[in-house]
Chain A
Amino acid sequence: MHDITLMQGIALTIMAIIVGVDFWLEGLFIFRPIIVSTLTGIILGDLQTGLIAGGLTELAFAGLTPAGGTQPPNPILAGVMTVVIAYTTGIDAKTAIGLALPFSFLMQYIILFYYSSFSLFMAKADRYAEEANTKGLVRLNILTTSIVAVTYGVVVFLSTYVAQDLMRALVTSMPAWLTHGFEIAGGILPAVGFGMLLKVMLKGQYVPYLIVGFLIASFIPFSNVLPAALAGTAFALYEYYTSRDKAAPAQKMAVEGDDYSEGI
């Protein structure tokens, strides 16, 4: 069990503002838990916890993507709070993921609120366009991004520095079956993310590839998914070249039609 100092709280706040803007703009992807947790670990002087929590949280969030207009539980708050909770309460990172989730949900809903309410700015943007007021339009975009940035800073400062005693009291009063339950949930959680990826990607014709990838990882003892990724690359290249070749001679088909009928 450790305390977060005011300086560390401020450092976390600054980090949250930077990665928060990155998440908003989808720029360098330093908003992913693997980076956020590592940075949090460095700030708290416990890199090991940061790395382990980062790896676990990243996977739990791998499938929870914003593609297709949905807003997933917030990866930044999950990345920060998993490390912070493990660090301040002394519990396992696996268990901490579960306790970090409410913070992740909170930020998700704040972002959703902004997505809706920022629509109000659009009337103003239309007026700037009418007047060819370029400075106004740029200012408007900076304003919206700043609102998001400040929100990240405030939420992370309150969740980390201000709420740490409360958090500790809560975790230490939890019975063993509940902490174990959170640990189990952390292990199953990636299934929801992968289910979401499959929802968008999986069609009948792709099922064989899912099975092959699953078989490779189940029966080849290797520390990561690289063998399956290479097999997948082979399938992808095969598909790319065959469908490209199929598209090219399609025009010839009409001419060659006679040859086929002779064969039959």
Chain B
Amino acid sequence: MITVKESKKVLTKRDITKLGLISSFLQASFNYERMQAGGFTAAQLPFLKKIYKDDKKGLSEAMKDNLEFINTHPNFVGFLMGLLLSLEEGREDRSLIKGLKVALFGPLAGIGDAIFWFTILPIVAGISASFAEQGSILGPILFFSVYLTIFILRIVWTHLGYNLGVRAIEKIKTGSQTISRAATILGVTVIGALIASYVHITVLSAIPINPEHTVSLQKDFFDKIFPNILPMAYTLLMFYFLKKRRVNPTVLIVATFIFAVLMSFLGVL
């Protein structure tokens, strides 16, 4: 059983708050070899220094471990740093600290991506952009307020990680899948709505029935049978190319432009 020995506590509450803020340097030297390792180490340094004091060898070992490959989520990394520093403070075995880091950064990245990139961003962007498009300053203000709150929460996660210590691991392992799944459901529902609201394809072509009558493909056909069916169809086509054919998104963006310009030239769209 691992317990953090109270007598060895050197980090104060203030330190942990500071750690939460400095955890923002996670990606300071991002690169494809070690990903976030450089910033991850640098953010913890002031506190590692406080823990190891004159123990140069201990500090060097801790730095070396932290410089190994890591790729997690910037919003949640404070949680991981808090947890790891509580173990460093208790002078736990290096292999245990390293093992926990390796075991946790992936799941945290997964939950973070599901919540922040795939759920919150589409919702907040969708709502605030609809204000901005109408020329209302409320759009960017709303957007900024939400993300400022999310940023401040970094401090909360960091305290949580530090206080929970090793007890957190069980919670993350049991909770992460349920939370990711719930977040994904919310995200997918919103994306369905975003496709209908913000992908615009209007067919200009009309089919002449007789000299007096023409049938507008958009108004008389698509809008009556199913509005927004073309945006959905095009999005699913993109999905197909990205998922099944593994086409690079940049290629699809360029292809969409060529398609749009060609359709404009022919007068179809």
Contacts and interface: CB of A to CB of B under 8 A. Distances in A.
22 contacts: A28-B151, A29-B143, A38-B139, A52-B133, A134-B45, A140-B29, A185-B259, A188-B231, A191-B195, A191-B231, A195-B238, A198-B235, A201-B188, A212-B192, A216-B192, A217-B194, A218-B226, A231-B189, A235-B186, A239-B182, A240-B178, A243-B181
Interface of A: 24-30, 32, 34-35, 38, 47-48, 51-52, 54-56, 58-59, 62-70, 72-73, 98, 101, 105, 108, 114-119, 121-122, 125-126, 128-132, 134, 137-138, 140-142, 144-145, 177-178, 180-185, 187-192, 194-202, 206, 209-219, 223-229, 231-233, 235-237, 239-240, 243-244, 247
Please classify the interface of chain A as helix (H, G, I), strand (E, B), loop, or mixed, using the class held by over half of its residues: helix
Given A121-B38, A134-B45, A137-B63, A229 B231 contact: no
Question: Contact size class for B?
Answer: 35 or more
B185 interface: yes
A98 B189 contact: no
Contact of A218 (B150, B189, B227): B227
A130 B128 CA distance: 48
Contacts of A51: 132-133, 135-137, 139-140
B137 A38 contact: yes
Given A52-B132, A138-B42, A181-B263, A192 B256 contact: yes
A232 B253 CA distance: 29
A35 B141 CA distance: 9
A137 to B, nearest CB: 6
**Which 5 pairs of residues, A with B, have the shortest CB-CB distance?**
A213-B192, A195-B238, A232-B189, A181-B261, A228-B193
A145 B24 CA distance: 12
Contact of B130 (A140, A202, A223): A223
A191 B234 contact: yes
Contacts of A67: 113, 117-118
Contacts of A52: 132-133, 135
Contacts of B252: 192, 195
B242 interface: yes
Given A118-B30, A144-B28, A185-B259, 6 more contacts: A114-B31, A188-B259, A198-B243, A212-B189, A217-B228, A239-B178
Contact of B193 (A129, A184, A216): A216
Nearest to B189: A232
B24 A201 contact: no
Contact of B122 (A62, A101, A122, A212): A62
User: Of residues A128, A190, A227, which shows the largest number of chain B Cβ atoms within 10 Å of its Cβ?
Assistant: A190
